[in-house]
Chains A and B, each alone.
Chain A
Amino acid sequence: MQIFFLALACFLILNILAGLWRVVQGPTPADRMVSAQLFGTTGVAILLVLAQALEAPYIRNAALLFALLMIMAVLSFVRKSTPKQGQAGNIK
């Protein structure tokens, strides 16, 4: 069972690595931001799986923190690119 969880964690990390292509390619800041958010979701899943695989239940709290706080960067990003505060496009 442990091997299954570890394999699952590896697969999810590979998912993040594949998603990095979108961050590198862009082309707009929104694309990059959204992929970072999806990494946050994947990261939560990896931490949960790891907690199970390593039998370290307190790792779940780290997953909880990511689930709770990943939105902060998006909020900052949205605030940043609201049109009334200057040009949205100049932050690439």
Chain B
Amino acid sequence: MALFLDILVAFSLVAIAWRIMRAPGHFQAVVLFITFGLLLSLAWARLNSPDIALAEAAVGAGLAGVLLLDTLRAVAQPGKVKTGAHFSWLLLPCLLLAGLLTLSIIHIQPDSQGLARAVEAGMQTTSLEYPVTAVLLDFRGYDTWLELGVLLAAVLGLLCVRRKKSIRAPLLPAPAEPVGRWLISILLPLILLVGGFLLWLGAFAPGGAFQAGVVWAAGGVLLWQAGHPSLGALPVSLWRTGAVLGFALFWLLAATALIRNEPMLTHPQAKAWILAVEYAAALSIAVCLTSLAIGGQKSEDRNQKSEVRDQRSGDRCQITNNR
């Protein structure tokens, strides 16, 4: 029965992926992609990787659908879209890649433990109880640090591309939406709670900073979608602090290790310190992802010039407010 389930999930994934590429309309492809994320999460759950299943569920349901639908609105054009026809030259590279991947899978020993044994051996030296979190924050802190840097760079890049001076400028809310306002009162407390729950869970079970950050980011996008003014009312300095906090704490960790004359990113083995880094990382991920998800939005019924002018006057208001 388990084999049948595996075959069914694998078949559905490939079939939906194929249909996404051949879909006659963008909207159909977007809806199929949302379904694809759902089945992907199922596949990860079946493969016994609840961490990735959680991340896929949060990103797929919370952010990807919104991003794709909003992008669709930005690029919406009437008429049918050509699909697939001029991509036939990609067939050979794709087959080559598929062959290479198959070859590498064949070479994996069936009873291979991968790095699990090394991680298990290292678990004595860390104060965290859950191996995945220990790898992310302790053993391979460098990777997590740089990933936070990538997110930060993406936000800065977005500001450059959109020619916005302030990180808050893209946060002006969407037109007020009554259904959304009603949803906020039900969903937002739950979103905050579940995000905090996942973050807390990360210390000893599947969960952690990224999943929590994505859930909170979904909350931010919800606020923005419903036209709630709260995000825009936040002081811009607070928003900036939130965006760099995770990266900054890792940086502090590296700098203090340098002063204490130890290898970089080794830290005092205090659980409180690691958890502080994790919580800061979650906050930064939430702020950065919210900025990315809604910062790329173009207001629809104004042209670019008036948008810039509005933004300038917005900045001026902001300066007077700061005074």
| Shortest CB distance B4–A (Å) | 6
Asked, given contacts A62-B41, A76-B70, A91-B73, whether A68 binds B35 with beta carbons under 8 Å apart, the answer is: no
Task: Tell me if B1 and A32 are in contact (CB < 8 A).
Answer: no
Give me 28 A-to-B residue pairs in the complex whose CB atoms sit less than 8 angstroms apart, sorted by A's number. A6-B2, A6-B5, A7-B1, A13-B42, A16-B12, A32-B31, A35-B31, A36-B35, A39-B35, A43-B39, A46-B42, A47-B42, A51-B45, A54-B48, A56-B45, A58-B50, A58-B207, A62-B41, A68-B191, A69-B215, A73-B65, A75-B180, A75-B225, A76-B66, A78-B179, A79-B174, A91-B76, A92-B25
Closest CB-CB distance, A81 to chain B, in whole Å? 9
Q: Name B's A-contacting residues (CB within 8 A).
A: 1-2, 4-5, 8-9, 12, 15-16, 19, 25, 27-28, 31-32, 34-35, 38-39, 41-42, 45-46, 48, 50, 53-54, 56-58, 61-63, 65-66, 69-70, 72-73, 76, 78, 174-175, 177, 179-180, 183, 187, 190-191, 194, 198, 201, 205-207, 211, 215, 218, 221-222, 225-226, 300-301
Contacts between the two chains (Cβ within 8 Å), count:
173
Contact of A86 among B15, B32, B46, B300 (CB under 8 A): B300
CB contacts under 8 Å to B, within A48-83, are: 50-51, 54, 56, 58-59, 61-66, 68-73, 75-80, 82
Residue of B28, B206, B225 near A58 (CB, 8 A) is: B206
Residues in A neighbouring B1, C-beta threshold 8 A: 3, 6-7, 10
Contact between A62 and B4 (Cβ–Cβ < 8 Å)? no
List A residues at the B interface (Cβ < 8 Å): 3, 6-7, 9-10, 13-14, 16-17, 20, 23-24, 26, 29, 32-33, 35-36, 39-40, 43, 46-47, 50-51, 54, 56, 58-59, 61-66, 68-73, 75-80, 82, 84-86, 90-92
**Apart from A10-B5, A39-B38, A68-B190, what 6 extra A-B contacts exist at CB < 8 Å?**
A20-B19, A62-B53, A72-B222, A82-B177, A91-B27, A91-B76
Contact residue among A33, A80, A82 (Cβ-Cβ distance under 8 Å from B31)? A33
Which secondary structure characterizes the binding site on chain A? Answer: helix
A61 to B193, CA, bound (A): 13
Q: Decide: A80 and B35 in contact? CB cutoff 8 A.
A: no
Given A13-B9, A61-B50, A66-B38, verify A23-B28 contact (CB < 8 Å): yes
Query: Which of A9, A72, A85, A92 is within 8 Å of B65, CB to CB?
Result: A72
